């Protein structure tokens, strides 16, 4: 019993340390301001034109920076696709992931369904200051309200969107 109690304490302490470490990393990576380049009009791979500034006026929007070559993105993209299918407002930016036709074909093979801006040169992600994939930003009324990089759960994304709605 003492052994179980000791392990429980150690697990709780480790969880707190990891939470603090990841929070500090997110704060360190987070851009101080949202780059205007992200809020401009962009063309999705389906040809539709979107403005994140306009879309975020209605309600918070999740912006998902990812890449086809990113191992962690292969774990998070199905979650993002499911959230998009459930109605969460999402725009994604595929970073240096090749030509549009190849990107779309790869998404179809993996059954991924979410709006995508193809940042084939990495110019947009560089302007925004994205230094790691996957990166998630929540934008509300043209302002960055939440930021995280790396793996996150659907619950984590839902919580960020819920908090941004206040």
- Locate 52 and state its tokens: 């994140």
- Locate 129 and state its tokens: 């200051």
Residue spans of the domains in the chain: they are 1-30, 32-164
Closest CA to 61 of 80, 85, 88, 34: 88
pLDDT tens-digit map of 85-113: 999 999 999 999 999 999 999 999 999 99
70: helix, strand or coil: coil
What CATH fold (topology level) applies to the domain 32-164?
Glutaredoxin (3.40.30)
pLDDT at residue 51 tops 90: yes
The pTM for the full model equals: 0.84
pLDDT at residue 31 tops 70: no
pLDDT at residue 16 tops 70: yes
The confidence score (pLDDT) of residue 18 equals 74
Within 13 Å, how many C-alpha atoms sit on residue 8's CB side? 5
């Amino acid at each position: 019993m003492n052994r179980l109690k000791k392990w429980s304490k150690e697990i709780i302490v480790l969880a707190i340390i990891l939470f603090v470490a990841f929070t500090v990393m997110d704060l360190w990576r987070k851009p101080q301001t949202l780059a205007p380049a992200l809020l401009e009009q962009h063309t999705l791979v389906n040809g539709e034109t979107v403005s994140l500034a306009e879309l975020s006026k209605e309600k918070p929007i999740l912006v998902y920076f990812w890449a086809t070559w990113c191992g962690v993105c292969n774990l998070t993209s199905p979650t993002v696709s499911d959230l998009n299918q459930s109605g969460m407002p999402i725009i994604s930016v595929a970073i240096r992931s090749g030509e549009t036709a190849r990107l779309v074909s790869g998404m179809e093979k993996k059954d991924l369904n979410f709006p995508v801006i193809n940042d084939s040169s990495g110019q947009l992600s560089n302007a925004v200051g994205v230094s790691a994939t996957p990166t998630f930003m929540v934008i509300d009324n043209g302002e960055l309200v939440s930021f995280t990089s790396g793996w996150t759960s659907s619950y984590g994304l839902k919580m960020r969107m819920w908090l941004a709605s206040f």
